[in-house]
A and B are shown apart, each in its own frame.
Chain A
Amino acid sequence: MAHHKTLGESLRAHGVSRRGFLKFCAATASMMALPPTMTPAIAAALEQARRPSVIWLSFQECTGCTESLTRSHSPTVEDLILDVISLDYHHTLQAASGEAAEHAREVAMRENFGNYLVVVDGSLPGPDSNPGYSTIAGISNYQMLMETLEGAAAVVAVGTCAAFGGLPQANPNPTGAVAVQTLAGDKPVINVPGCPPVPMVITGVLAQYLTFGKLPEMDQYNRPLAFFGQSIHDRCYRRPFYDKGLFAETFDDEGARAGWCLYRLGCKGPSTYNACATMRWNAGTSWPVEAGHPCLGCSEPKFWDAGGFYDALSVPPGDTGSTLLAAGVSGAIIGGAAAALAKRRQKADLAERQPVKIDELEQKL
């Protein structure tokens, strides 16, 4: 394995021109909200970066995150980044299988102890769950994660399942699924949520880590601010319609055809922090809102349990109408009982009532 080949060398060996590489660096700088003057610095850092060993663990996941990363129509710099890192273990992508595959993981861990990156997609049954819910080569996900984390420099949780628990953790969470960060202890965690995450965000985070050799600036969910610093709503090209109060109310009304705001159709853009609106999907072709579908809020914790995808953000997920009715009826009954008590008191007063007599009044004179 070419552990001492730098990224620059490797890229050139793969036929990436200097021009194409700088373009990627400029795009990375802009994604990370760095000034364009940083482009040469990024290029220099990346060219010199040693290919780090990366162990990619897939647990309770759907492979969507890997698909997102690899299903590009033409070879892009993103593909190459994958090539130039030393991806020593990845279920879907690796050729090896069985004993050999696990052996590769063990070797990579031993040889790069303390320096390798762990990438996880998928959540995993927590330590208190039945370990049999998800195993690889007879090893429970929990055991494998804990072993692998031991010598890791950092862990990147790719996808909402890994970052926040995602679908497996959704109510009623039958496998007791947990997010990676709940088990990572003091290992640095970078969350790259999304269902799946934008491919450029995955590579961008890796590029940033390679460039600066340290963790990116992150929000309170450990999401890199460079990609998750702004909400979909704030960067949405349909925002002017929201501001004017122009909303599509069905998927085929005039508003929908005119490209008006999708808030009323359940868009979670206002509460969702991700880069879809700026980086878009499929090599910048489009993104869900542009395709006419409300944002599902997939890069936010608990997005499966946050109410209907097609309910407006302001709509409560519960059956509030029934609560209202039940409480109202109870209130009427309680109020009725209280009023009956008061009436009974009034009746008792009336029964005991002594009319005011003039000589009683005159006592005060």
Chain B
Amino acid sequence: MSELSLERGLAAFREEIDAPVAAFFSSCIRCGLCATACPFYVETGDPKYTPILKLEPMRRVWASEFTLWGRLKGLVGLAPKVTDEMLAEWEELLYDSCSMCGRCSLVCPVGNDLQYMIRKSREAMVASGHAPEGLIGAASRAIRTGSPMGLQWKTLDVQIKHVESSTGLEVPVDKPGVEYMVLLSSMEIINFPEYLEAIAKIFDHAGVTWTLSTDCYEATNAGIQIGSKDIAAELVQRVVDAAVKLKVKKVISPECGHAYTAIRWEGPNLIGKSYPFRVFHIIEVLDELRAAGRIKTEGKETDRLSLHDPCNLARKSGVIDQQRNLMDLVADNFVDLKEHGKYQWCCGAGGGVSSNERAEHLKMAAFKRKKAQIEEVGPDRMVTMCATCRTQLEEGLEEFNMDIPVVGLTEMIAEHLVEKEQRA
């Protein structure tokens, strides 16, 4: 049986190095500003978490094999090598202490997209056998069961039944030719069943046709988080096959950050071609419906609400105004965190950190930055649109004994829908 090896890891590094990577490494001046953008450094104060340092293995491969000068140095044995031991040491830096939030990429004065290179470095970590066990477990369950948490359709089926009975609405399953195919995340199915109910209500209200697919209901992509394009492509292919089979033109990614970037931005490149359908985040769809006047709401939340932008949605996908438009629809007393939108701070759980049990203490440490941001504004409740962020916010706020409930934006919209009878 084949095995992951340093050789395969180095080959993966080489494969991932492209013009942007070479330009980025050529430009780093080691000013350290990326550290000030990183919640893992800011909250631990440990300089080893400086983002650019996390890329040292990749930088070495670039320097010694993609620059003339590095090759010359290599000939006389002066180019530092990437060893198995080094990669083992870097496992913590590339996984446990990085949520791939991309904040450093936005702050770097020479314009280095560090997150882009972290993502690429993880390919080599996987190929060389240095991925964390927690993420391997999630990837294994995703490939073998269709869900990183090991869920099965029957669990979802129970929920569907529950939603149908409580709302009196049909949750369409495997209906071909509808407008949208809806994807979910296992975490939502387990932790936030309100989501499914909310979209059932909203789509019914707005007259949108949609369906779930029994072939593929999971939007999350453990392959992206662990950093294996082979695993990721297999998971994306399932979505594509399901959408093609049901002949839908639009696919909705749920309230989950990385699921959206995985299927929206990486997916087509993983399978090497454009999709025959378009991909939206649920928030984009809701805002479009709002703009088209298809969502009628009544009443507004009066308590002080603030918003946590998921990194994957805002900074990494450009969905920033949509959630604010929707907040305006249902909230009277909405206040943004000081640094928000593309400059928001990560909750600390993204990029696979939350699936990596070993990283628990770092995840909580990084959360302190979010906590400080929340304390600055002092909201009564936090609103967000990513199940991972939401779980992290809830756990973190509880850890620090802050009584601030966290709600999903989709649910909140659903709660304010004008009832059908009234509308008519």
Question: Which residue of chain B has the shortest Cβ distance to A355 in the bound complex?
Answer: B230
B136: chain A residues at CB < 8 Å are 361-362, 364-365
The answer on a CB contact under 8 Å between B11 and A353 is yes
B133 touches A364 (CB 8 A): yes
A361 touching B14 by the CB < 8 A rule?
no
User: Does residue A19 face the partner (Cβ distance < 8 Å to B)?
Assistant: no
Check A360/B65 contact, CB under 8 A, given A346-B14, A349-B11.
no
| Residues of chain A contacted by B68 (CB below 8 angstroms) | 334-335, 338
Say yes or no: A360 contacts B2, CB within 8 Å. Answer: yes
Q: Across the interface, which residues of B come within 8 angstroms of A359, CB to CB?
A: 1
Contacts of B8 in A (CB 8 A): 354
B357 to chain A, nearest CB (A): 13
Question: Closest B-chain residue to A331, C-beta based?
Answer: B68
Contact present for A365 and B137 (CB under 8 Å): yes
Q: Would you call B126 an interface residue if the criterion is a C-beta within 8 Å of the partner chain's C-beta atoms?
A: yes
A350 to B129, CA, bound (A): 19
Q: 0/1 per residue, A322-361, Cβ < 8 Å to B?
A: 0000000000001100110010011001101111111111
Chain A: minimal CB distance from B202 (Å): 36
Q: How far is the CB of A18 from chain B (nearest CB, A)?
A: 75
Measured CB to CB, the nearest residue on chain A to B66 is A342
What is the number of contacts between chain A and chain B, taking CB atoms within 8 Å?
Answer: 65
Question: B139 contacts the other chain (Cβ, under 8 Å)?
Answer: yes
A362 contacts B15, C-beta separation under 8 Å: no
Q: Is the CB of B2 within 8 A of A361?
A: no
Please indicate which of the listed interface residues A338, A339, A349, A361 has the most CB atoms of chain B within 10 Å of its own CB.
Answer: A361
* Residue A363 lies at the interface, judged by CB distance under 8 Å to chain B: yes
Contact residues, B1-38 vs A (CB, 8 A): 1-4, 8, 11, 14-15, 17
- B139 close to A352 (CB less than 8 A): no
Interface of A (DSSP majority class): helix
CB-based contact A357/B230 at 8 Å: yes
Whether B140 sits at the interface, judged by CB under 8 Å, is yes
Size of the B side of the interface (Cβ < 8 Å), in residues, is 29
- Chain A residues positioned under 8 Å from B362 (CB to CB): none
Task: Chain A residues near B296: list those with CB within 8 A.
Answer: none
Whether B143 lies near A358 (C-beta < 8 A) is: yes
- B2, B126, B144: which contacts A354 (Cβ < 8 A)? B2
Residues from chain B with a CB closer than 8 A to the CB of A355 are: 230
Chain B residue nearest in CB terms to A358: B143
Most chain B CB within 10 A, of A350, A360, A362, is at A360
Which residue in chain A gives the minimum CB-CB distance to B142?
A358
Q: Does B71 contact A (CB under 8 A)?
A: yes
Residues of chain B in range 77-92 having any CB-CB distance to chain A below 8 Å = none
Contact, CB under 8 Å: A345 / B65? yes
Inter-subunit contact A356/B65 (CB<8 Å): no
- The answer, among A334, A346, A354, A365, for a CB contact under 8 Å with B140, is A365
Closest to A354 in B: B2
CB distance from A242 to the nearest CB of B (A): 35
Q: How far is the CB of B333 from chain A (nearest CB, A)?
A: 48
B127 touches A (CB below 8 Å): yes
If the complex has contacts A346-B15, A352-B11, are A358 and B126 also in contact, measured as CB distance less than 8 A?
Answer: no
Closest-by-CB residue of A relative to B15 is A349
Residues of B within 8 A of A360 (CB): 1-4
Smallest CB–CB gap between B354 and chain A, Å?
Answer: 18
B407 within 8 A of A: no
Q: Which residues of the other chain, B, contact A349 by a CB distance below 8 angstroms?
A: 11, 14-15
Residues of A within 8 A of B140 (CB): 358, 361-362, 365
Give the Cβ gap from A218 to chain B, nearest Cβ, in Å: 48
Q: What is the minimal beta-carbon distance from A255 to any residue of chain B, in angstroms? A: 40
Residues of B within 8 Å of A345, CB to CB, are 14, 65
Closest chain-B Cβ to A340's Cβ sits at a distance in Å of 12
Say how far A179's CB is from chain B's closest CB, in angstroms: 44
In the complex, what residues of B have CB within 8 A of residue A363's CB?
3-4, 129
Q: Which chain B residues border A356 with CB–CB below 8 Å? A: 4, 126-127, 228, 230-231
Chain A residues closer than 8 Å to B337, beta-carbon distance:
none
Report the bound CA distance from A241 to B11 in whole Å: 63
Is B131 in contact with A361, judged by CB distance below 8 angstroms?
Answer: yes
Cα-based distance from A135 to B333 in the complex (angstroms):
106
Bound: A338/B8 CA distance, A: 22
Extra pairs beyond A334-B68, A339-B66, A346-B15 (19, CB < 8 Å): A338-B67, A338-B71, A345-B14, A346-B14, A349-B11, A349-B14, A352-B11, A356-B4, A356-B126, A356-B231, A359-B1, A360-B1, A360-B3, A361-B131, A361-B136, A363-B4, A364-B136, A365-B133, A365-B137
- Can you name 22 A-B residue pairings with CB atoms under 8 Å? A342-B14, A342-B66, A345-B14, A346-B15, A350-B15, A356-B126, A356-B231, A358-B140, A358-B144, A359-B1, A360-B2, A360-B3, A361-B4, A361-B136, A361-B139, A361-B140, A362-B136, A363-B4, A364-B129, A364-B131, A364-B136, A365-B137
